[in-house]
Structure 1
Amino acid sequence: MGLSLIITSLMARYLGAQDFGLLNYSLAYIIIFTTVSNLGIDCIIVNEIIKKREDTGKIIGTTIYLRLFSSLISFFLIYLIVSYLNPNDTILLIITLLQSISLLFIIFDTIEYWFQSNLQSKYIVIAKSTAFIIVTIWRLALIIFEKPIQYFAIATVIEAIVISLFIVVFYIRFNGPRLQFSYQTAKRLLFQGYYHFIAGLLIMVYTQIDKIMLGQMTGGATVGIYSAALTISSLWMFIPNALIESARPIIMNSKDQNEKSYIKKNKQLYCSIMWIGIVASVVITLLAKPIILLIYGNQFIESINVLIILIWSRIFSLIGTTKAIWLTVENLGKYQVYFVGIGALLNIVLNCLFIPKYGAVGAAIATLFAEIVSTLIACLFFNKTRPLFKLIIESLCFKDIKN
């Protein structure tokens, strides 16, 4: 995390608010279409592998083929959208297309779920850590040799290639099942992943739409201010996210074994990620000003208030990620669509109201409200998801989480 902070600081200072914002504005499209290319299958694949071990090769192989097709379509859609919205910005089009090449390589991330289902996530950590080191060296070299923004866009592709290469090598080394395509498996995965696809797309829209709307309504510099704060607010989240990914197969397995144990494991996970989030939010809120000035300098001083708001939205983002496990196991995936649909609509409306008046701070406020509504309050809107609201609140209060 420390090294990432240093690289972020050097990049932001070197590129400046305008180019740093332009790079992140472009990346917002890539993140949204990464979700499109996933087709919602990433939310169910671990559960599928656990239930049908003998079909692991078909499940993974079929998913890779489906994601390759959707990634190619996404690449062309990104080109059309960016060209239409920014017809005279050649630099933006170039860096967006460069970063979108990564979509063709991240399809191999599918193999990651085989490692998760076998409780061997450490190999994924090795792959991502190696990619991070290589990309860090690349970015440092660019700063030293004073290269333009286009070269920084290539870092996204390098990271995707390295991670994919390591994952494939590990898969072969540990004799992973032979990959194959199955039409019947494809139909089943697409059908089961439908609600997760819509939900995931809506999630990405309302988490990334801030940058896109800021870029269209106020310009690249404001996106830079917002992105600087967003980077810091999300930097620590690899810890709770790793905890969620490690707990996912354990919780899914416990459902069929012991209902009481299943509930307890859910509560333990919620309790852990919420209190980790609360502690991190308090610390970063208190230190927001020195953090921003130290990392980015005076040109990003407007990021301070944005960071103070965004850091609290991260807690609800983690709740939303964890909530997907419960909804998957309980076969209530369609409600995830309702939740994030409400959140996405609210975020867009609030962005339209707040961004013209408050700029980056307005976008941060919109994000916080959208996260609170979509991940927590929306659970109360439906009878079948009210027990989840109760479970989350009880977890926050440490009720029934001890062994």
Structure 2
Amino acid sequence: MQLTSIKKIITTKYMRNTGWLLFEQIFRMGLTLIVTTLMARYLGTENFGILNYSLAYIMIFTAVSKLGIDSIIVNEIINNKEESGKVIGTTIYLRLVSSFISILLIFLLVKLLNPNYAAVQLITLIQSISLVLVIFDTIGFWFQSKLQSKYVVIAKSSAFAIVVLWRLALIYFEKSIYYFAVATVIEGFAISLFMIAYYIKFKGPKIRFSFEKAKHLISGSFYYFIAGLLIVVYTQLDKIMLGKMAGSTTVGIYSAAFAISSLWVFIPTALIDSARPLIMTSKNENEASYIRKYKQLYCSIIWMGLGAALVITLLSKPIILLIYGKQFIESVSVLIILIWSRIFSLMGTIRAIWLTIENFGKYQVFFVGIGAVINIVLNISLIPHYGAIGAAIATLIAEVISAFIAVLFFKQTRPLFKLIIQAFLFKGVKA
């Protein structure tokens, strides 16, 4: 087959893959917007804050239970196709063990930090069960490596639709906050069920466990595990610190703004997820093509982010009033700050691709660690005086330094700073 024909096939698969990922994100965004609006209005700022405060613990330990393997598994499958079943099976086993440990740690931590808050303890425990039930979403990486995200999209979209119906039913029948916590468990179970069904249907490689592969995966993902944990810590720690220092109502105000600031991310997330295997493959074929594709991704995400941030900043007040109502009016100022932080957060995600390919995974830990320390210090300083706005400022500053400025701190990663600037200026982007 001629080279041009091969490129045409790859491009077609890439476009289809991206299309399906975009569909999932649009579908999820639309339903999220509807159900979040109704939930926030029904639960009110305090209960909405409690639910998100509890969920922050789950998000942190989700990073623990995944062990950082998500960052390297696609690359592992692409480079070792004959061992893909072993990679997937070993990952599932490792995540199963780490999930049970995470649930225990969550229970102990929440009980320690909230000894007299039984509601938070129970809600967090219920949601933590999802860590075990969602382990089979690992199968989705096999489909991603083959640029067949269609099946992952169908599985996750179907599961999400079920959860949305559950939440809408709870609002209609005026159920308590505890039933809303069960939604996380239902989604985890549904995703795993759908993924298993598709894997069997398309005769995925036999899932096996290998002790040697386990050591290899843990060793290769160690830096990404630490980095991923730190990322989630400093993106979710805001809510935990707000809950402890300013109360659940303030968490509700912050969470409402955070949810809106994340809604538009569906497009760049789809592009990044779809481009990742393509960029990784091109590295082994043509260095110039690899750099160009990587710059194209950076360029697209940066300028898309700037446009979205500007629009949402200008429309922040009517957006908050339309979605949440007057009781969340304080979220306007928080949203204006958080929306700009999302650009740098996405840049950090793209940076991880380059670090993985160039075997510089250890620097991801330094970058995210710097961001985490800055975020925690600023939270301690700003939250007591400015509440949710202080937490938003801390997040923005931490993201700017971690995702952009910090690459200048190390000689090996300085070329990435130049690459980012060139991508921003459209240099070397055109084929």
- Range of TM-score over shorter length: over 0.9
- Is 2:220 the partner of 1:192? yes
Determine the structure 2 residue equivalent to 1:136.
164
Unaligned runs of 5+ in 1: none
Q: Which amino acid aligns with 1:277?
A: G
Shift of 1:351: 0.2
Unaligned runs of 5+ in 2: 1-28
Q: Which amino acid aligns with 2:381?
A: L
Q: Match for 1:252 among 263, 272, 280?
A: 280
- Is 2:108 the partner of 1:80? yes
Determine the structure 1 residue equivalent to 2:234.
206
Structure 2 CA distance for aligned equivalents of residues 134 and 243 of structure 1: 26
Determine the structure 2 residue equivalent to 1:67.
95
Shift of 1:105: 1.4
Measured against aligned partners, the alpha-carbon deviations of 1:321-347 in whole angstroms (never above 9, x if no partner) come to 111100000000000000000000000
Determine the structure 2 residue equivalent to 1:346.
374
Determine the structure 2 residue equivalent to 1:173.
201
Determine the structure 2 residue equivalent to 1:274.
302
Q: Match for 1:376 among 404, 407, 410?
A: 404
Shift of 1:109: 1.4
Q: How does 1:35-74 map to 2 (within 5 A)?
A: 35-74=63-102
Shift of 1:125: 1.0
Determine the structure 2 residue equivalent to 1:243.
271
SS in 2 for 1:88: coil
Q: How does 1:213-362 map to 2 (within 5 A)?
A: 213-362=241-390
Determine the structure 1 residue equivalent to 2:5.
none
Structure 2 CA distance for aligned equivalents of residues 66 and 372 of structure 1: 33
Measured against aligned partners, the alpha-carbon deviations of 1:114-171 in whole angstroms (never above 9, x if no partner) come to 0110000111111111112111111111001000000000111111111111111111
Determine the structure 2 residue equivalent to 1:183.
211
Q: Match for 2:180 among 143, 152, 162?
A: 152
TM-score normalised by structure 2 residue count: 0.93
Shift of 1:275: 1.3
Measured against aligned partners, the alpha-carbon deviations of 1:45-77 in whole angstroms (never above 9, x if no partner) come to 111111111101110000000000000000000
Q: How does 1:102-113 map to 2 (within 5 A)?
A: 102-113=130-141
Structure 2 CA distance for aligned equivalents of residues 396 and 344 of structure 1: 26
TM-score normalised by structure 1 residue count: 0.99
Q: How does 1:386-401 map to 2 (within 5 A)?
A: 386-401=414-429
Determine the structure 1 residue equivalent to 2:3.
none
Shift of 1:3: 2.9
- Is 2:36 the partner of 1:8? yes
Structure 2 CA distance for aligned equivalents of residues 329 and 343 of structure 1: 22
Provide the aligned C-alpha RMSD in A: 0.7
Structure 2 CA distance for aligned equivalents of residues 53 and 138 of structure 1: 39
Structure 1 CA distance for aligned equivalents of residues 34 and 81 of structure 2: 43
Measured against aligned partners, the alpha-carbon deviations of 1:254-278 in whole angstroms (never above 9, x if no partner) come to 1111000000000011111111111
Identify the range of structure 1 (330-339 vs 230-239) with the bigger mean alpha-carbon deviation: 230-239
Structure 1 CA distance for aligned equivalents of residues 93 and 106 of structure 2: 20
Q: Which amino acid aligns with 1:276?
A: M
Q: Which amino acid aligns with 1:376?
A: F
Give identity over the alignment, percent: 69
Shift of 1:2: 2.9
SS in 2 for 1:176: coil
Structure 1 CA distance for aligned equivalents of residues 424 and 193 of structure 2: 40
Q: Number of aligned pairs?
A: 403
Structure 2 CA distance for aligned equivalents of residues 169 and 99 of structure 1: 24
Determine the structure 2 residue equivalent to 1:116.
144
Shift of 1:402: 1.0
Structure 1 CA distance for aligned equivalents of residues 301 and 175 of structure 2: 40
Structure 2 CA distance for aligned equivalents of residues 304 and 36 of structure 1: 32
Shift of 1:7: 1.1
Runs of 4+ in 1 over 2 A off after TM superposition: none
Q: Which amino acid aligns with 1:15?
A: L
Measured against aligned partners, the alpha-carbon deviations of 1:285-344 in whole angstroms (never above 9, x if no partner) come to 000000000111111000000000000000001001111100000000000000000000
Shift of 1:31: 0.4
Q: Which amino acid aligns with 1:268?
A: Q
Structure 2 CA distance for aligned equivalents of residues 77 and 3 of structure 1: 32
Q: Which amino acid aligns with 2:347?
A: I
Measured against aligned partners, the alpha-carbon deviations of 1:180-235 in whole angstroms (never above 9, x if no partner) come to 10000000000000000000001011100100000000110000000000000001
